Amino acid sequence: MPYPKVSFIIPTLNEEKNISRCLTAIRTQLYPQKNVEIILADAFSKDKTRSIAKTFNAKIIDNPEILHEHGKTRAMSLAKGDIIFFTDADNVLSTSNWIQLMVQPYIDDNTIVGLLPQTIPAPDTNSLDTYLGFLCTDPFTWFVYGQATTPRDYGTYYVPTKTTNSYKVYQFPINNHPLLGTAQGFGINKSLFTRNKDSKGDDILAGIKIIESNGKIAYVPAAGIYHYHVSSFTNYIRKYSWRVKNNLQRTYKETGLVNRMKYHSLARKIKMACFIPYAFSFVFPCIDAFILVGKHRNFVMLLHIPSTLVMAYIISKEYLLHFLHYKKPLGTYE
């Protein structure tokens, strides 16, 4: 088979605890390593992130804007691969033939724009992280997008334009687009996609731009990728408090839900407004939790109940503080 050149772009900031695991999975792939490039867009890490990355023959560039998406844009302009994979330091390729699986749709059809893996829970992570791994996002976004949250459920809403034994090709409608971001192992055909100024600050908006251009996206179910989403409930609260505050304060104007609102249907906007009543009803999250337990055959999905309540508390608290003009510092990017 031909072996297209691939580039892995990884934005980092003080990731010495994660980066070795991430890079080991890339460098042990059953794929010619001469055709595999790794570029770290590093926001001036103060730990051993850079020195560890150098042992894996990774290129390192500076990311003065700190945010992940800006780093990806900088690195993409330097990448030499035909296919660019965007991963984070907390991502790990789950199989040694991951690259081979992911490049096959491109080999079959070089007009494919996007290559989509399947996010899966890591086998050695905590219960909350496992729950979020099955959900493939946070409870608020899951509530809004429903079955369009994860590609394993796309068949509920969308009909593929092509189906093979190893992948499916979709062209999604922009007015009912799925949750799709250029992160967590998402690959793009460099010759057909450029991160423009309108989407360079937000990975989901970049995905929406691909859909808006009627680009073909191949979903590769067997190409699993572990996402170590959160380390604890405290980390979960910090991560999503930062995101909600940024949406309200607009400290980083190019990132956040507010930039994508015009692409959401009226039905999804109504669901956004209904999330707080849904969460605090307690009954409906309980019903969904048991449905999720049955679907994934794992009682860890009962964490949907406290996770949803915590998310509703975060949103309510930050909105109240914003309404009262109590402006807390945004803090460190999570």
216 and 243 within one domain: no
Reply yes or no on whether the pLDDT at 139 is more than 80: yes
Convert the pLDDT of each residue in 213-258 to its tens digit. Answer: 999 999 999 999 999 999 999 999 999 999 999 899 888 888 889 8
Pairing state of beta strands 216-227 and 91-93? antiparallel
181: tokens are 């971001």
Host domain of residue 239 = 233-323
48 and 130 within one domain: yes
User: Which of 227, 253, 268 is at the close of a domain?
Assistant: 227
Is 329 inside any structural domain?
no
Nearest to 227 by CA among 293, 150, 306: 150
Positive or negative: CA dihedral 133, 136, 142, 148 = negative
Q: How many domains does the chain have?
A: 2
69 and 130 within one domain: yes
Is 1 inside any structural domain?
no
Is 154 inside any structural domain?
yes
99 and 12 within one domain: yes
195: tokens are 């991160």
300 and 216 within one domain: no
Reply yes or no on whether the pLDDT at 18 is more than 60: yes
Convert the pLDDT of each residue in 105-126 to its tens digit. Answer: 999 999 999 999 999 999 999 9
Is 304 inside any structural domain?
yes
42 and 103 within one domain: yes
User: Which of 227, 249, 279 is at the close of a domain?
Assistant: 227
Is 19 inside any structural domain?
yes
Q: How far apart are CA 95 and CA 163, in angstroms?
A: 22
Torsion of CA 292, 227, 176, 113, to 10 degrees: -140
pTM for this entry: 0.93
Roughly what angle, to the nearest 10 degrees, separates helices 68-76 and 203-212? 50
Cβ neighbours for 238, distance < 8 A, ≥ 6 positions apart:
331, 334
pLDDT category at 2 given cuts 50, 70, 90 is: confident
Is 330 inside any structural domain?
no
153 and 211 within one domain: yes
260 and 199 within one domain: no
Cβ neighbours for 223, distance < 8 A, ≥ 6 positions apart:
94, 95, 98, 101, 102, 117, 118, 185
Reply yes or no on whether the pLDDT at 1 is more than 70: no
Nearest to 213 by CA among 95, 144, 113, 93: 113
Convert the pLDDT of each residue in 144-198 to its tens digit. Answer: 999 999 999 998 889 999 999 999 999 999 999 999 999 999 999 999 887 665 5
Is 328 inside any structural domain?
no
35 and 129 within one domain: yes
97 and 218 within one domain: yes
Is 267 inside any structural domain?
yes
User: Which of 206, 227, 248 is at the close of a domain?
Assistant: 227
243 and 331 Cβ atoms separated by less than 8 Å: no
The burial of 319, by beta-carbon neighbours within 10 Å (0-12 exposed, 13-18 middle, 19 or more buried), is given as: middle
40 and 61 within one domain: yes
DSSP category for residue 26:
H
- Rounded average pLDDT over 298-314: 98
Reply yes or no on whether the pLDDT at 291 is more than 60: yes
